[in-house]
Amino acid sequence: MKPTYDESSFRVLKGLEPVRERPGMYTRTDSAAHIIQEVIDNAADEALAGFAKHIHVLVARDGSVTVTDDGRGIPVGPHPEEKIPVVVLAFTRLHAGGKFDKKAGNGAYAFSGGLHGVGVAVTNALSQRVEVEVRRDGKIHTVSFAEGGEKVSALEVVGECGKQTGTRVRVWPDPKYFDSPKAPQAELERLLRSKAVLLPGVQVTLAVEQPDGGVLEKTWRYPEGLAGYLKEIAGSESVAPIWSAENYAGAEDESFAAGEGAAWALGWWPDAAPTESYVNLIPTVAGGTHESGLKAGVFEAVKSFIEHHALLPRGVKLQQEDVCGKLGFVLSARLLDPQFQGQVKEKLNSREAVKLVASRVRDPLEIWLNQHVEAGKAIAELAIRQALARQKNAQKVEKKKQSGVAVLPGKLSDCESTDIAENELFLVEGDSAGGSAKMARNRETQAILPLRGKVQNAWEIEPNRLYANAEIHDIAVALGIEPDNPDLSGLRYGKVIIMSDADVDGAHIQTLLLTLFYRHFPALIAKGHVFVAQPPLYRVDVPASGKKRPAKRLYALDDGELEAIKERLAKEGVPLDKIEVGRFKGLGEMNPEQLRETAMDPATRRVLPVFERPDAHAETVRLFNLLMGKNESAGRRAWMEEKGNLIEADV
């Protein structure tokens, strides 16, 4: 390690260097599938905007992949500010593209796969060579990139194309950045098939060159749209007919921008049902807030139908999982400014998507159920059976716990449910935050235990002396398990969530609680029951701007996220002097609605799972000894002197 920390310690990465230095931050590195998907998504965005009718993908024997569309063609003229051809900017500059400028309908795309703005620039950075052909304005233009975008050929006109338009991109992924430089054919087929489903009237073709020189082609079209696709991937008969519909906000909508909404097909199956979701045609394999909104809308509609027809047996309380546990669906949401978790875009994080999709689905589904009463009753019967089975299992668990159970702590606000898989215990810093959390919680499944002051450092406390500390005693009793005992059969909550302020005191409380769990309740961590909430540090209020952009509230986890939000708003044309930025000094300052939205609602919160890598046990114990051991002050001092420059503390 370099002994000095001075001006020469800083290195500035330029152009596409950051991508090549840390490719895993920008894309998947198990295969080249995602960098090829970035090119396919650009072609799909042209189709989504209504300008392309054909997408063709060719996988060549030399490992290259060519994506062709008949859209408008990437602009080839010089950018008005950068003075560089726009097609070159798209492939060589991060955070450049036609998806940023959405104000007043000026942008190239109203709906597209997000605003990360790295796209095909990442494809170029991680490829040996990229060749681009653009047919536009009656001429054929070509440009090529080599050595990860370092070498750029001159943009040339090589012929005429009449009225033809479109873009052809050929990519040779660089093997040194991927476990496998080839995109798995099965994954490409799934991706392209889904584009055909989500883009009515668009023909999607995959051609693969064979070793004998032939070409194997597959073309997808779905005349039944989402319903036909869901029927195909489910492979069996549904309990009731598959229902498909779409619902988008109009220009007069006060809550959402015109065009925002969703299309879907959904049904119920006796066994496990398939689910797929997309945002602006981007597959969200890890789900996200749009799926939460769909389930919320479906639950409310089915619950209302069951109540209207008096189908629910006495003593049975319906929960969302009862209705949605056997629900299969294909969901395609459209959002003006989607926010994803990570550049790979596997999970949607946009909080407004919950309300958007739920509001689009609920009323049409309730109308459909009441028009198809027999189908509605079949769905209701399946949901009620699920609820009865859940309650029966919960009763079995309760009988195991009744013998010798301790009196629960008086300050614990317990939840009503006895379903361990659903129940959550929030360990909250301070009584004021505890009060907000009690009002913000879902009483059915969420319990609150406020902690007064800081929990005692339990790293070197003997197990038989733990209960001498009141806070540790209350935590153990609330959990229903004994310290230093691997038996979790008495556990009362499936998730234990540490929720403290976003400052140094909050970080200290997190550390003390993690020390307690790691030393005396290791089975909790080993079984994946412990989580840390990430409440935001800032609230950003954005004013309304006409009917297309209603007022909205955004949250930033830290200074970096705040700057990113400001940059995005500036590019959207929102004057920064019009936005209001509020800083939360602690959880107690948040009103219940804000606390629910940012830290407690499973659909919109951020929580980090706590786990230990199998190969890291010795290193974890060493670090806990260093940080929490009573006789390690000299080691801690040396460690802080060595690592102090890395801290970003909010003091």
Active site (annotated) includes residue 501: yes
- For residue 4, being part of any structural domain is answered with no
**Same structural domain, 80 and 213:** yes
Together in a domain, 385 and 458:
no
429 noted as active-site residue: yes
**What is the domain-level CATH number for residue 511?**
3.40.50.670
Domain boundary (556, 581, 606) is at 581
Distances in Å between the alpha carbon of 119 and those of 126, 223, 338, 457, 472? 12, 31, 15, 47, 49
DSSP string for residues in 244-308: EEEEE--TT-SSS-TT-EEEEEEEE-SS---EEEEETTEE-TT-BHHHHHHHHHHHHHHHHHHHH
Residues linked to residue 216 through DSSP beta bridges, in sequence order: 208
- Asked if residue 377 belongs to a domain, the reply is yes
Dihedral (C-alpha) 312, 317, 320, 326: value to the nearest 10 degrees? -50
Residue 451 lies in a domain: yes
What confidence score (pLDDT) does residue 576 get? 82
pLDDT at 558: 80
Identify whether 598 is part of a domain. Answer: no
Q: 206 - beta bridge partners?
A: 57, 218
Establish if 318 belongs to a structural domain.
yes
- Which of these is catalytic: 501, 572, 597, 601? 501
Q: How far apart are CA 553 and CA 604, in angstroms?
A: 13
| Phi, psi dihedral angles at 353 (to 5 degrees) | -65, -30
Report the pLDDT value the prediction gives residue 433, as an integer from 0 to 100: 67
Largest CA distance in the chain: 86
Tokens of 251: 């220009």
Residue tagged 């294909």 (tokens): 330
Q: Which two tokens stand for residue 480?
A: 């229903």
Report how far residue 233's alpha carbon sits from residue 216's, in angstroms, rounded to the nearest whole number. 23
Measured CA to CA, the distance from residue 525 to residue 613 in angstroms comes to 11
| Termini Cα distance of the chain | 28
Bridge partners of 243? 266
Q: How many Cα atoms occupy the beta-carbon half-sphere of 210 within 13 Å? A: 6
Domain shared by 498 and 552, yes or no: no
Q: Do 370 and 495 fall into the same domain?
A: no
To which residue do tokens 């949605």 refer? 324
- Which residues of the chain register pLDDT less than 70? 1-15, 95-118, 342-345, 394-406, 432-433, 546-548, 644-651
Neighbours of 403 (CB within 10 A): 7
3-class DSSP state of 641: helix
Catalytic one among 70, 260, 366, 429? Answer: 429
Q: Is 623 part of any domain?
A: no
We report the CATH number of the domain holding residue 318 as 3.30.230.10
Q: In terms of domains, do 294 and 363 share one?
A: yes
329 alpha carbon, distance to own chain's centre? 18
Q: Are 125 and 149 in contact (CB under 8 A)?
A: yes
Decide: helix, strand or coil at residue 599: helix
Q: How far apart are CA 416 and CA 466, in angstroms?
A: 28
Q: Are residues 229 and 181 in the same domain?
A: no
Q: Does the residue 192 lie in any domain?
A: yes
- The pLDDT value recorded for residue 454 is 79
Dist CA 377 CA 381 (whole Å): 6
Are 565 and 513 in a shared domain? no
> Would you say residue 400 lies in a domain?
no
Among 394, 409, 439, identify where a domain stops: 394
Range of the domain at 34: 17-220
* pLDDT tens digits along 277-324: 998 878 888 888 999 999 999 999 999 999 999 999 988 889 999 999
The tokens 């000026």 sit on which residue? 106
Judge if 22 and 139 occupy the same domain: yes
Residue 549 and residue 511 share a domain: no
- Say yes or no: 199 and 306 in one domain: no
Long-range contacts of 22-28 (CB under 8 A, 24+ apart): 23/125, 23/126, 23/177, 25/343, 26/118, 26/122, 26/125, 26/343, 27/122, 27/126, 27/343, 27/344, 28/344
d(CA 477, CA 454): 18
pLDDT in tens, 133-184: 999 999 999 999 998 888 888 999 999 999 999 999 999 999 988 888 888 8
Catalytic hit among 503, 567, 589, 650? 503
Structural domain total, the chain:
4
Distance (Å) of CA 112 to CA 46, 116, 280, 334: 9, 11, 5, 8
d(CA 119, CA 122): 6
pLDDT, tens only, 476-509 = 888 888 888 888 888 899 999 998 887 778 888 8
Are residue 194 and residue 313 in the same domain, yes or no?
A: no
Q: Same domain for 557 and 432? A: no
Could you tell me the CATH number of the domain that includes residue 213? 3.30.565.10
Residue that finishes a domain, picked among 185, 220, 255? 220
